[in-house]
């Protein structure tokens, strides 16, 4: 609302999709996010790693608006979104998935997928009664898109299944596909291959890469080192709520601080 609320917003270049400035969040005495400033360039797959408890998920929650930050700013496409609700940020093109797959009781995969696109005409009761044919047309297009996307992700055969009957990996795939149907400017994936078998994890890697080649920007938290090192560039390393370093996979791999953080963090 306020034009000069935050100067940085105007200074962002066009090719920065997501930017955080000095984000802070504490839970009681525990500082989970301690002045984090990161930038995600358009068209990249940016990785985010860090030992357990480094504050990666917390940072995602701050960026997507699920947690309120104590200080700092978030901008999307140069626009300040710090005071917006999660759904408003999603409408601005900032769409996330969750670390633990979300179960939609009583919904088929098709149905669960169709929640993605939006805003849909058929989400307005008024349209349901007074422009039914528009709703029909849009719904048809969305059903078709769902079918194509599931087919592309090689899970077309699951379309009629209850969405709660899928394996962990299949669920992650559906979530990725659904998040993509929102037509996001940046997709935030929280551990997209956690608990996924290696074959499916490779598939997921391939699909992310394909979408990226078509221009989709990603910010991906991942614990699986080989996975993220192979997929992402640059990689941001988080430790104890702070950005430890940022660089190419090779730079990250050979950085002493990173090795130490991981050895120190993964102690027992």
Partner 1 sequence: MSAVSSWVSETLVRDATERRIFAVLGLITVLLVVGVLTGVIGPRFLLFQIALVGMYALLSLGLNVQWGYAGLINFSVAAFWGIGAYCAALLTAPNSPLGLGLHPVFGFLAAIVVSAFIAVLIGIPTLRLREDYLAIASLGLAEVIRAIILNERRWTAGSSGISGIPNLMSWLPLTDAATTAAIVVFLIAVVYLFLRRVHRSPWGRVLRTIRSDEDLAKALGKNTYLFKMQAFVIGSVIMAIAGAFYAHLNLYIDPSDLVPLTTFYIWIAVILGGTGSNRGAVVGAAVVIAIREGTRFLNDIGFIQTLGIDLAPLRLLFVGGLIILIMRFRQDGLLPPKDELIWPAARDESSTGGASPSGAVPDGGTSSNGGDDR
Ligand X SMILES: Nc1ncnc2c1ncn2[C@@H]1O[C@H](COP(=O)(O)OP(=O)(O)O)[C@@H](O)[C@H]1O
Q: Count CA atoms within 13 Å of residue 162 on its CB side.
A: 6
Instruction: Identify the DSSP state of 191.
Output: S
Tokens (6 digits) for 216: 């989709």
Q: Strands 16-27, 30-41: parallel, antiparallel or unpaired by DSSP? A: antiparallel
CA dist 152 → 14, 44, 141, 167, 196 (Å): 31, 22, 16, 18, 19
Residue (31 or 84) nearer to partner 1, CB: 84
Among 17, 23, 54, 177, binds ligand X (CB under 6 A): 54
Q: Which does residue 97 touch among partner 1, ligand X, Mg ion, none (CB within 5 to 8 A, set by kind)?
A: partner 1
Q: Could you say whether residue 58 binds ligand X (CB under 6 A)?
A: yes
Q: Count CA atoms within 13 Å of residue 63 on its CB side.
A: 31
141 CB-near residues (< 8 Å, 6+ apart): none
Residue (100 or 136) nearer to ligand X, CB: 100
Alpha helices (runs of H) in the chain, residue ranges in sequence order: 8-11, 56-64, 86-91, 109-114, 125-130, 132-152, 168-181, 198-213, 225-231, 249-253, 256-265
80 CB-near residues (< 8 Å, 6+ apart): 5, 6, 9, 73, 74
Which of 267, 265, 229, 268 is CA-nearest to residue 50?
Answer: 265
Chain centre distance of CA 72? 20
Residue (69 or 77) nearer to ligand X, CB: 69
Instruction: Identify the DSSP state of 101.
Output: P
Binders of partner 1 among residues 159 to 188 (CB under 8 A) are 159-162, 165, 178-179, 182
Q: Which does residue 103 touch among Mg ion, ligand X, partner 1, none (CB within 5 to 8 A, set by kind)?
A: partner 1
Q: Could you say whether residue 123 binds partner 1 (CB under 8 A)?
A: yes
Residue (117 or 241) nearer to Mg ion, CB: 241
Q: Which does residue 54 touch among ligand X, partner 1, Mg ion, none (CB within 5 to 8 A, set by kind)?
A: ligand X
Residue (97 or 237) nearer to partner 1, CB: 97
Dihedral of CA 100/102/105/108: which sign?
A: negative
Among 24-32, 134-142, 143-151, 169-177, the segment contacting ligand X (CB under 6 A): 24-32
Least Cβ distance, residue 178 to ligand X (angstroms): 22
Task: For residue 248, report the phi and psi dihedrals to the nearest 5 degrees.
Answer: -70, 165
Number of residues that bind ligand X (CB under 6 A): 11
Q: Could you say whether residue 192 binds ligand X (CB under 6 A)?
A: no
Least Cβ distance, residue 188 to ligand X (angstroms): 12
Q: Could you say whether residue 52 binds ligand X (CB under 6 A)?
A: yes
Binders of partner 1 among residues 102 to 121 (CB under 8 A) are 102-108, 110-112, 114-116, 118-121
| Footprint on this chain of ligand X (rule: CB under 6 A) | 27, 30, 32, 50, 52-58
| Footprint on this chain of partner 1 (rule: CB under 8 A) | 64, 66, 85-87, 90-91, 95-98, 102-108, 110-112, 114-116, 118-125, 128-129, 132, 135-137, 139-140, 143-144, 147, 159-162, 165, 178-179, 182
């Amino acid at each position: 609302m306020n034009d000069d609320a935050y100067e940085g917003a105007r200074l962002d270049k066009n090719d920065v999709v997501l930017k955080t400035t000095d984000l802070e969040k504490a839970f009681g005495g525990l500082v989970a996010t301690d002045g984090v400033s990161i930038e995600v360039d358009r068209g990249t797959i940016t990785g985010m790693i860090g030992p357990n408890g480094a504050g990666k998920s917390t940072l995602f929650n701050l960026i997507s608006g699920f947690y309120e930050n104590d200080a700092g700013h978030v901008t999307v496409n140069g626009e300040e979104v710090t005071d917006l609700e999660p759904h408003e940020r999603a409408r601005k093109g900032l769409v996330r998935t969750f670390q633990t797959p979300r179960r939609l009781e009583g919904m088929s995969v098709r149905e669960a997928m169709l929640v993605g696109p939006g805003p849909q005409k058929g989400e307005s009761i008024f349209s349901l009664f007074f422009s039914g044919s528009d709703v029909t047309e849009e719904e048809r297009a969305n059903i078709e898109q769902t079918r194509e996307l599931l087919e592309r992700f090689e899970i077309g055969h699951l379309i009629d299944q209850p969405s709660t009957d899928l394996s962990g990996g299949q669920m992650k795939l559906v979530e990725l596909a659904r998040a993509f149907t929102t037509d996001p400017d940046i997709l935030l994936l929280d551990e997209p291959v956690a608990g996924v078998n290696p074959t499916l994890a490779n598939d997921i890697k391939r699909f992310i890469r394909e979408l990226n080649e078509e221009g989709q920007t990603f910010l991906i938290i991942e614990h699986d080192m080989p996975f993220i090192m192979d997929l992402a560039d640059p990689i941001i390393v988080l430790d104890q709520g702070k950005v430890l370093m940022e660089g190419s996979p090779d730079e990250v791999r050979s950085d002493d601080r990173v090795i130490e953080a991981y050895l120190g963090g993964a102690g027992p």
